[in-house]
Each structure stands twice: as C-alpha cells, then as structure tokens.
Amino acid sequence: MFTGLISDIGTIRTIDGQRYAIGCHYDAATLQIGASIACDGCCLTVTYVAEPADTNALIWVDASNETLERTTLGSWRLGQRINLERSLTLSAELGGHIVTGHIDGVAEIAEKRADGNSFRYDFICPDHLMKFIAPKGSVALNGTSLTVNNVTGNKFGINLIPHTLSATTWGEKQSGDCVNLEVDLVARYVARIISAAAEEGLN
C-alpha cells in the first residue's frame, strides 16, 4: 500500500528488456530484495540493490507483459525521471489516500495551463474508468495523490500547487503526455457493490 505522496524522484539508468535499473536517493542499506516501490505509480518489486560510487542507491525492478500493456512503462527511456514512493508502514502518516500501485489505465494530458502560481491539467480518461472519477474525489496519477476538480464527458481536471510541481516530475509534463492512472479504491468497490446488487435484482 502507498499514500500517493512522492518521496523521491528516480532516474532510469539501464533498460534491459523488461528489466529497469533506477537511480534514487534512498539509502541502499534500508532497501531489501522483495520490497515494493511505486514507480510512477506502478507497484514494482525490487529484485536487486546496488550502491554506486555516488552513494545513491541503484534498484532493479522487473515489469511483466501485463504491466507493460496497462502502463506507460513501455515508453520509459534512459535518463527519464520518474516519481517514487516506498511502501506504507504502520507508523507512517496517511497524508494522501490509499493507493495500491495497481494501475487501471493510461490517461492523456489534454491541456496544461497556468493558474496563478499553480497549473491546471485536463486529462482524457478511458471511457470505462470515468464512472470511478468524481469531483472532489481522489485519483493517483503517476503515483501522485490528487484531488479531482471537475469532470466533463471523458475528461477530468486537477490543479497542481508549486510544491507538487517541484517535488515530483509534474513540472516536466506537457500536453500530449500520457500518465498512469489508478482510480480511488473506495470508488472501485462501491461501483462493484452497486453492480452486484443490480445483477441480483435482475435474477
């Protein structure tokens, strides 16, 4: 489990088929093989940890075909910066919302525009996921816990404050870029309960 509060920005150092080496600022001594790390919102398992000369950790993760089909990982390139979050501990503050790291689909940035010191982003969302997105509800985009401002048709909008822009890779994102989308866990289960109740009513 994660909170959607980004704790580091990593850099893709090596791509070897479906294996990725990610440079990060985490202390290598605190990282264990088998640990879960959200990489641009996608929960991946650490398979190897190295400590380069610059003392920053280098972690290796693997991506399955399923992950490559549902996320933006297949488009990762050398030198690309990605949002990272280590898994939630029982003593950690839940400052965002409950995030599983299980990506539901990919959303496209339709528009990015300045709004005072902040930026507003409009996203095109896959049609089948729109039912889970509501104004003032939560979404995780590239692993970042964000509040939905508005919903229209197959689009929704969010607002990013200066801190979020500087502490994550969001300041680098532009119109046309695609991001990993995870809908709110509660919304997903509520929709499932309503659907199951409707099916029972028809039987």
Residue 36 shares a structural domain with residue 114:
no
Look at residue 153 in the predicted model and tell me its pLDDT.
Answer: 95
Residue 17 shares a structural domain with residue 52:
yes
Domain tally, the chain: 2
Residue 50 shares a structural domain with residue 122:
no
pLDDT tens-digit map of 90-133: 666 666 788 999 999 999 999 999 999 999 999 999 999 999 99
Query: 81-86 and 36-39 as β-strands: parallel, antiparallel, unpaired?
Result: antiparallel
Token duo for residue 97: 């919302």
Residue 123 shares a structural domain with residue 72:
no
pLDDT tens-digit map of 52-88: 655 578 999 999 999 999 999 999 999 999 999 999 8
The domain containing residue 48 runs over which residues? 8-86
Answer whether residue 199 is part of any domain: no
Give the DSSP per-residue string, 25-92: SS-GGG--TT-EEEETTEEEEEEEEE--TTS--EEEEE--HHHHHHSSGGG--TT-EEEEEEPP-TTS
Answer whether residue 98 is part of any domain: no
CATH number of the domain where residue 51 is located:
2.40.30.20
Residue 80 shares a structural domain with residue 140:
no
